[in-house]
Amino acid sequence: METDEARMLAPDAPLADGKEAVRGLLTQLESMEGFSLNWSPTSAEVSDGADLGYTIGTYQMIVLGLEGGLVQIDGKYTTIWKKQADGAWKIAVDMFNANAPPTPATES
């Protein structure tokens, strides 16, 4: 899903530079106790050359907080997509951050 040169700029983490580093960071996030993630794109644009594009959206992540209960993190993201030679779109850069400090998660 990501290019070999992909980069991820996650909050409170160093730059993940390259496909393996991005996948490692994603594995760390997904392995967090209580982890769930929902995201929704709110806009998308494609360059005039139709080889680059970006999406902007919002996300809601739930993880186990420092004090033991589940917390909800609401935030926003930007993803830059690069069109591959075979026509597939892959992630080149992904960046996300929270809107505010985590809040206690509600039961769903």
What's residue 17's pLDDT?
97
Q: Is the pLDDT of residue 108 over 80?
A: no
Q: Where are the domains of the chain?
A: 2-98
Dist CA 91 CA 50 (whole Å): 15
Dist CA 77 CA 82 (whole Å): 17
Convert the pLDDT of each residue in 56-104 to its tens digit. 999 999 999 988 899 999 999 999 999 999 999 999 999 999 999 999 9
pTM over 0.85: yes
Separation of CA 34 from chain center: 17
Q: What is the CATH number of domain 2-98?
A: 3.10.450.50
Q: Which of 101, 105, 107, 82 is nearest to 92 (CA)?
A: 82
Distances from the Cα of 65 to the Cαs of 33, 61, 95, 101, in angstroms?
A: 9, 11, 22, 11
Average pLDDT of 34-41? 96
Dist CA 90 CA 105 (whole Å): 32
